[in-house]
Structure 1
Amino acid sequence: MTAEHSFPSETDTIPYYHPIVSLQSQRIIGYESLGRQLIAGKLQSLGPFFHNPDIGEAAHVRLDRHLRKQAIEKWAGRQGGELLFLNLKPSWIYRLWKEQGFLYTLSLLDRHRVDPGSVVIEITEEEFGGNLYELAEIVEQYRLRGCTIAIDDVGSGFSNFDRIAVIRPKILKLDLELLKKSHSHQGYRAVMRSFSILASQLGASLLVEGVETDKDLLLALQAGARYVQGYLFSVPVPDFLPEDRFAPLIDDVLERYRRQEIEKYGNLSEIDGRLSELLTRSLEASCPDEADGLVQSIVEGLPGYCHRAYICTGDGKQLSANFSRTDGGNWARDASYRGCNWIWRPYFISNITLMNAQDKGILSTEYTDLETSAMIQTYSYPIGSECYLFIDLSF
C-alpha cells in the first residue's frame, strides 16, 4: 500500500452506495455506504485502508466519520422506505462511548433530521476484546432510537454465536463464499442450515452478499435469503437507482427457482404415494421378533433410494433391528439397535403426534444422517396402534 493510499485525504474520498435487493418485493430496499477514493482519475475501494493494521485507529475513525457524515447528508430528506446501511466496528462503538458518552451516528441523524428508522447499523466482523454485554447495551441505544441492527460476515472470523445471541440482530449478513462451500461440502452445508434456522429462531432476516451470477442467486434462495446484494445487480454507485431497477431479473430467477422446487417436491410426492401404497395393508408388531419379520417382509419391495428401515414404539424405543441396504443391494440386519431410544430427536414427538392425528405417513425435510453424513429424508408410517415404521431415503 502506498503512503498516498495509506492516508487518503477527505477531499478525494466519498461514499458510494451498493444496492440491497429484497427477494420478497423484487425492489431495492436499501444501500450499503462504502468508502471510495479517487486516485489518478480512478475510483478505488477504501477497504485496504480500513483493514490495514499498521494505520492507527484514530485515522480510521476520522475518515470513517467523514464518510458517514457525507452519506447521512445525502440521505437526509430522501423519500421512500429504503434503508441506509452504515458499517461500524464494535471496538469503535465500545471505546468511543466509554470515552465520550455519546454516539456520533445518532448525533448526525439528529443534526440532519434523518429518521433513525431508515438506518441499519451493521456491526462489522472484527476481533472484540471488550465486554460483550456492555457492547450489547451500547448497541441497544441505536435500537431504542429506531435503528435496525445487523451483523456482518456471519459464519466467518469473529462474528460468532455469542455476539449474535447477545446483540439479537434483525439482519444476519452472510457472505456467499460460505454458501458456495456448502454446495459441495457436507460440513459447510450443515453450518449453512444452522444459520438459516438461527435467523428464523431470532426473528431475523438473512442477507446474502457477494451474489454475482444467476447461480449465486439460486443458492441464496435455497439458503432462505430474504435480501441479496452483489455485482449481479450493480456495482456500488454514486447515486440512488429506481427501486424497481432489478425486478425483471429477479422475477426471471424466481420463476426458475419455482419450477425447480415444484419438480423436486413433485418427485417427493410421488415417493410418498408409492410408499403409502406399499404400506396400506394392516400391519402389527408386538415384540422384537415380529417387528423384525415385518421389516424384512417390507424392505424387499422398497425402491432403490430406500436404504434403512426399522420400527419404533410411541415412547421412542426401537423395537426392531436396523435393516440397511448394502452396496450390493441386499439388506443387512443389525440387532444392536434394538432398545435404542430416539425420543431425543427434535422431530420425533411432533411426527408421532402428526401421524396419529392424520393416520397416514409423513415425509420429513432433508437432514444429515448421523452415521453416513449423507443428506437423507425419513418416511414415517403408523403401524397398528402403538408402533411406527421409519424408512430412510437418500437420492
Structure 2
Amino acid sequence: MNIDPLDIISNMNHLLPFYEPFFSAEDLQIVGYEVMGKFREEHTDGDLDSFFMDQQIPEEYRLEAYAHLINRALDHFIQAQQAGFLAFRMDPNILIYDVEETIIKTILSKKEAGFLPSQIIFVLPEESLKGIEGSIEHTVQFIKTFGIRIAIENAESSGVRLERIAPLSPHFIRVHLSSLKSQSGTIGFDETIYALSSFARKIGATLMFDKIEMEHQLMFAWKNGGRYYQGPLLAKSSAVFEKKDKSKELLKKELSRFMSFEKKKLEALKALETMLFEDLNGLLDKYKHNHAFEELILEAAKILKDRAFRLYVCDDDGYQLSSNLLRQGDQWINQKEYLQKNWSWRPYFLENVFKMSRSKQGLLSDLYSDIETGEWIRTFSIPITNRFFLFIDLSYSFLFEEENLL
C-alpha cells in the first residue's frame, strides 16, 4: 500500500519497528534482528521499506523517519534486555545527507544504557551505491570510526559488482535467495555466490543469506558458507522479540539432513575418483617413458566410453602436449589446434598439478561450467609421470545419471 509521505511525517507515533531475526549457523540461535519500519493507524497498514528507499521523497523527510525508527527500536531493545545486534536497511544517500550526524547521535545517546554502536549494522543495497561511490566511501569510513558495522546487500538479480563493494570493506555481505524457490536454479547461481564468498574471505567479511522460504534455500546458504540466515522458513518479522532458541530444533534437523546428504555425496565422488584411477592406472604405466600421447588418449577413450567427452595431456607448466580428443555423438575427433595451448591461467591448475605430483593419485574437480559447451561438468586429472598429466572432462549426462555426482 502506498502511503503519503506527509502522513508518515505528520504521524510519527504510528511508525513502528518490527523485528526479523538473524539465526547463527554456529549455535543455531537468534543473534540479532533486522529492524523494519511499519506504519499503522486505523485505516492504513503498510511496510515502509519503499518509503525509506525512494529517492523521490526529500531526504529530510526520510532522515527524520529513520532517526525516529532507530530511536524507538533501540529503546525497545534496551527495555527488553536483549543481546546481539540490530540491523537497519539504509539508503546510503541518507547517510551522506546526514551532515549533522542525527542518526549517529541517536545511536551514541544509548551508550549510557549499555547499548554499544558495535551492535548496529547498516545494510546498504549495492545497487544504491551507483554514482555515489566516492562520497559513500568517505561516509562509511567515518561511520566505522564509531564502531558501527556495515553490510552490503547484493541482490542476486543485480550480479556481482565487486568494484563497488571492495572500497567499503564491509563487515558483512548479504545475499537474497528469493530467486531460488526452484531447486533447478541453484547451479547457475553457484558462480555468483562463489565469487562473493571468495571475495568475502579475502576481506574478512561474513556472508548473510535472507529471503529463505524453503529447505533447499537454507541448504544452499549453509553449503555456501553462510553464517547468518533470515527468512520466513525460520521466523517472520514481528513487533516483539522472539525466544533465542526459536527454530533451533528445525535448524538442527535440517543441518543434520544436509550433512548426511553431503557426506553421501563426498563418498560418491571419492568412489568415482578411485574407480577412474583404477580403470586408467594400468594404461598409464605404458606411457611413463613412451610419450605417444595421441595414442594414449585414444586408448583411454576406449576405456572410459560415454563417461568422458574430452581428453588431453598437459605438462606441469600447463602446455598441452596432445590434441583434444572430443566425442561428437558416437565418434571421437582430434582437434590438433589445441596443441601447445597453455592452461596454467585456469584457477587451481598449478595447485592441482602440484598435489598430483606429490600424491601420485587422481583428482576430481568441483562442478563448473565448461567454457566451450556451457554444460556443467567435472574434470578428472591423473598423473602419467611427475611432469605429464591426463585430463578427462566428464560429461553432464554421465554425472546426471549417477547418484550424488552433481
When normalised by structure 1's length, the TM-score is: 0.90
Query: For 1:356, what is the secondary structure of its paired residue?
Result: helix
Q: Is the 8 A contact 1:171 1:205 kept in 2?
A: yes
Whole-angstrom CA distance in 1 between matches of 2:280 and 2:127: 55
1:28 shift after superposition: 0.8
Question: Hey, what does 1:22 align to over in structure 2?
Answer: 24
Whole-angstrom CA distance in 2 between matches of 1:306 and 1:203: 39
Amino acid at match of 1:239: V
Aligned pair in 2 of structure 1 residues 231, 363: CA closer, same or farther (>3 Å)?
Answer: same
Aligned positions of 1:224-243 closer than 5 A: 224-243=225-244
Question: Hey, what does 1:284 align to over in structure 2?
Answer: 287
Q: Is the 8 A contact 2:151 2:172 kept in 1?
A: yes
Moved more, 7-16 or 51-60: 51-60
Moved more, 211-220 or 335-344: 211-220
Amino acid at match of 1:308: R
| C-alpha distance after superposition, 1:374-395 (max 9, x if no partner) | 1222111111242111111231
Aligned pair in 2 of structure 1 residues 91, 259: CA closer, same or farther (>3 Å)?
Answer: same
Whole-angstrom CA distance in 1 between matches of 2:382 and 2:80: 57
Whole-angstrom CA distance in 2 between matches of 1:379 and 1:95: 55
Question: Hey, what does 1:267 align to over in structure 2?
Answer: 268
Q: Is the 8 A contact 1:120 1:150 kept in 2?
A: yes
Query: For 2:345, what is the secondary structure of its paired residue?
Result: coil
1:371 shift after superposition: 0.7
| C-alpha distance after superposition, 1:108-149 (max 9, x if no partner) | 444654112222222234534665244223212332332322
When normalised by structure 2's length, the TM-score is: 0.87
Q: Is the 8 A contact 1:154 1:172 kept in 2?
A: no
Q: Is the 8 A contact 1:148 1:170 kept in 2?
A: yes
Moved more, 43-52 or 364-373: 43-52
Moved more, 128-137 or 188-197: 128-137
Question: Hey, what does 1:94 align to over in structure 2?
Answer: 96
Q: Is the 8 A contact 2:62 2:94 kept in 1?
A: no
User: Which aligned segments of 4 or more residues in structure 1 are displaced greater than 3 angstroms?
Assistant: 1-6, 51-54, 77-81, 99-113, 124-131, 153-160, 178-183, 185-189, 285-288
1:184 shift after superposition: 2.8
Amino acid at match of 1:64: Y
1:358 shift after superposition: 1.2
Q: CA RMSD in A?
A: 2.7
Moved more, 251-260 or 198-207: 198-207
More helix per residue: 2
Gaps of 5+ in 2: 400-406
Q: Is the 8 A contact 1:182 1:188 kept in 2?
A: no
Aligned positions of 1:98-109 closer than 5 A: 103-109=104-110
1:38 shift after superposition: 1.4
Aligned positions of 1:1-395 closer than 5 A: 7-8=7-8, 9-40=11-42, 43-76=45-78, 81-97=83-99, 103-110=104-111, 112-128=113-129, 131-157=132-158, 160-180=161-181, 183-184=184-185, 187-281=188-282, 282-284=285-287, 290-302=292-304, 304-328=306-330, 330-393=331-394, 394=396, 395=399
1:186 shift after superposition: 6.0
Q: Is the 8 A contact 2:39 2:46 kept in 1?
A: yes
Amino acid at match of 2:350: I
1:82 shift after superposition: 1.6
1:159 shift after superposition: 8.0
Whole-angstrom CA distance in 1 between matches of 2:5 and 2:158: 26
Moved more, 193-202 or 204-213: 193-202
| C-alpha distance after superposition, 1:242-283 (max 9, x if no partner) | 211111101111112112212222211111111111222214
Whole-angstrom CA distance in 2 between matches of 1:285 and 1:348: 21
Q: Between Structure 1 and Structure 2, how many residues are aligned?
A: 392
Whole-angstrom CA distance in 2 between matches of 1:47 and 1:313: 56
Aligned pair in 2 of structure 1 residues 284, 184: CA closer, same or farther (>3 Å)?
Answer: same
Gaps of 5+ in 1: none
